[in-house]
């Protein structure tokens, strides 16, 4: 099994190249039990599995959906600094800093561990109120480290959401998003639903 390295994430590549690399990397890891465990549960600071899950994939999903016709450049500092990702136009030297937060909980990780070990788990479905409260708490936690030029991506695990619940969650997520960041987005993990919703602010990459 090949581990992902920090240096790989610190490259600056166009979105299209990042997506190709990320999909190939995921397919390679998901092909073995060892790879699946590494990608899902590794939290070591010595390699890039955790930032790949929690920073790279959310940013790439966002960039692919929000800027479908622009092959912007992206890099991931992985340095415990204020930006989880930096994005810019190929014609500009000015980066837009992005912070990423996820709705992942301890219970979600326990469910995933059961799924990995047993092949199934009693995955529970969250209510609109629970999801909205979790999103609001993530935004509030990140707001303490925001700046006027930073964007926030709130990455949500929407595979278990009924489609009719989405608009209710988005409506309730807009209030806590006001005022903290230059732009705040809700980004879904599902490639079928392709959620990418601007909750507040203005998002322009010059």
For 150, other C-beta atoms within 10 Å of its C-beta total 20
For 110, other C-beta atoms within 10 Å of its C-beta total 11
Phi, psi angles (nearest 5°) of residue 80: 65, 15
pLDDT digits (tens, 9 = 90+) for 9-24: 999 999 999 999 999 9
CA 173 → CA 24, 93, 124, 161, 176, distances in Å? Answer: 33, 33, 21, 15, 6
From the centroid of its chain, how far is CA 98?
10
pLDDT digits (tens, 9 = 90+) for 158-196: 876 666 777 877 887 787 778 779 999 999 888 888 999
Largest CA-CA distance found in the chain, in angstroms, rounded: 50
Per-residue confidence (pLDDT) for residue 172, from 0 to 100: 77
């Amino acid at each position: 099994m090949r581990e992902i390295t920090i240096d790989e994430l610190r490259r600056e590549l166009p979105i299209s190249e990042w997506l190709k690399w990320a999909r190939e990397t995921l397919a390679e890891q998901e092909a073995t039990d060892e790879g699946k465990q590494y990608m899902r549960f590794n939290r070591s600071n010595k390699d890039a599995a955790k930032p790949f899950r929690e920073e790279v994939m959310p940013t790439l999903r966002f960039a692919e959906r929000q800027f479908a016709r622009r092959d912007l450049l992206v890099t991931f500092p992985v340095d415990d600094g204020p930006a989880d990702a930096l994005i810019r136009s190929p014609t500009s030297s000015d980066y837009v800093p992005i912070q990423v937060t996820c709705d992942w909980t301890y219970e979600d990780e326990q469910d995933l561990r059961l799924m990995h070990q047993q092949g199934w788990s009693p995955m529970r479905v969250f209510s609109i109120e629970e999801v909205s409260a979790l999103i609001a708490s993530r935004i509030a936690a990140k707001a303490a480290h925001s700046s006027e030029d930073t964007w926030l991506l709130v990455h949500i695990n929407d595979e278990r959401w009924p489609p009719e619940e989405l608009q209710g969650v988005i409506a309730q997520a807009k209030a806590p998003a006001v005022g903290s960041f230059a732009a705040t987005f809700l980004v879904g993990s599902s490639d079928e639903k392709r959620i990418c919703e601007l909750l507040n602010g203005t998002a322009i990459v010059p």
